[in-house]
Amino acid sequence: MKNFDKYFDEIIGTLQITRVERERYKESLKNSITRWRIKGLLGKDEIPDTGGKLIWNWKMSQDKDMVIQMVSSVSKRIFNYRRKIFGLKDTGPNKTYIAHMVNELMKEGMPIFYPNPELIDRFFRDGEIE
């Protein structure tokens, strides 16, 4: 288990995540490694290279989940602020529109970067972020 923690720390690097997120990421990585072994992508006791394609696919998946959480959080925040803004009375946030705007922001304003451009395409192509 100690070796896995060191391996996990090497993958996460300097990413600032909470204790709960860290445990969720760790569990997700363990499950992904098990799934890759079942699919035959890894040997029985093999672990993927920390900078390899499998790990970057996993990182992209985690990023997508985090962006989905961000969209939900922004929607809730706007909903809570509507009572403080005169012009927003009796209106609610449109989560689909917020998701679209975050998606566009991630293409232009705060673009994501992965070593493989195919991952960037998959990030935006594989379903909505809402």
Burial 30-39 (b: 16+ CB within 10 A, else e): eebbeebeee
Tell me the pLDDT tens digit for each residue of 45-84: 899 999 999 999 999 999 999 988 988 898 888 888 877 7
Would you state the torsion angle of the CA atoms of residues 73, 77, 78, 80, taken in this order, to the nearest 10 degrees?
Answer: 140
Task: Say how far apart CA 21 and CA 120 lie, in whole Å.
Answer: 23
- Burial label, 130 (beta-carbon count in 10 A; 0-12, 13-18, 19+): middle
Nearest alpha-carbon partner for 122 in 61, 55, 69: 61
> In this structure, are 59 and 45 located in the same domain?
no
> In this structure, are 23 and 67 located in the same domain?
no
> In this structure, are 87 and 129 located in the same domain?
yes
pLDDT band of residue 124 (cuts 50, 70, 90) is confident
> In this structure, are 80 and 126 located in the same domain?
yes
Task: Say how far apart CA 61 and CA 67 lie, in whole Å.
Answer: 10
**Domain end among 50, 67, 87:** 50
> In this structure, are 106 and 66 located in the same domain?
yes
> In this structure, are 123 and 59 located in the same domain?
yes
> In this structure, are 128 and 64 located in the same domain?
yes
Residue 15 belongs to domain spanning: 1-50
> In this structure, are 129 and 71 located in the same domain?
yes
Q: State pTM to two decimals.
A: 0.82
> In this structure, are 33 and 60 located in the same domain?
no
Q: Are the C-beta atoms of 8 and 29 separated by less than 8 Å?
A: yes
> In this structure, are 14 and 74 located in the same domain?
no
Burial 94-107 (b: 16+ CB within 10 A, else e): ebeebbeebbeebe
Nearest alpha-carbon partner for 49 in 59, 64, 39, 61: 59
Number of structural domains (the chain) is 2
Tell me the pLDDT tens digit for each residue of 14-57: 889 999 999 999 999 999 999 999 999 999 889 999 999 999 99
> In this structure, are 95 and 128 located in the same domain?
yes
